[in-house]
Copies of this chain bind each other. A is one copy, B any other.
């Protein structure tokens, strides 16, 4: 891409996330991982184990972003319908993939390689496999879509497998500045800095510092010089507020 910006969407698939039974641990991990390697995570969707919902969300995301990652729904049971939904979204057939079958045969003695486990060797036509060093049953990569397991340990291993083959862009740089004062005390001068530094993004994140309201300011940019200038402007602004007694307890 000419802009040097690579984007991604993430599709989390599973009734258990929407019911609250399982607390997702993949969104935050993938977000941090992609940021680190120079890919902007631009949107996340969580959908249930319903084929038309998966197909529709996947088609919306894959036409919009450089990559789409999916998590969940590639196990051996009847509620694992991600591979079929992905095949449907791409309009390709799906069946037992000889490479995936070979991996499953290595892992499971004949008697154990039952119909359920063979489901995990069903891969849409034209996909590449994504190795699963944890429990063998592979993920896959078709078009710009990378299909991974939902179990965090396995998803993380699959992401490590896929990452070296991803195009990455200029990394987003960031600087975090602890403010030592309340967000509402900073908002007005901070908005002025944001207005005059168009080439950076400035976020303001309130938190409770041992019961005292405090704020972290985060400056982000792909341009190191713009980042440094905005950071310096924020620090000068904070020093000036402090000199006027703001934030003193």
Residues of A within 8 A of B (CB): 12, 15-24, 27-35, 40-49, 53, 75-80, 108, 112, 114-117, 119-120, 135, 151, 153, 172, 174, 176, 183-188, 190-191, 194-195, 201-208, 213, 218, 220
Contact = CB atoms under 8 A, between A and B. Distances in A.
B112 A184 contact: yes
Nearest to A151: B206
16 contacts: A16-B203, A16-B218, A18-B41, A19-B172, A20-B29, A20-B34, A21-B176, A21-B218, A43-B53, A44-B44, A44-B46, A49-B203, A75-B187, A78-B190, A116-B186, A116-B190
A46 B47 contact: no
Contact of A114 (B30, B151, B184): B184
Contacts of A24: 27-28
A102 to B, nearest CB: 17
Given A76-B184, A77-B186, A116-B186, A20 B45 contact: no
A36 to B, nearest CB: 8
A19 B220 contact: yes
Contacts of A21: 32, 174, 176, 203, 205, 218
Contacts of A77: 183, 186-187, 190-191, 204
A78 B34 CA distance: 26
Contacts of A151: 206-207
Contacts of A116: 183-188, 190-191
Contacts of A44: 12, 17-18, 44-46
Contacts of A187: 75-78, 114-117, 119
Contacts of A40: 18
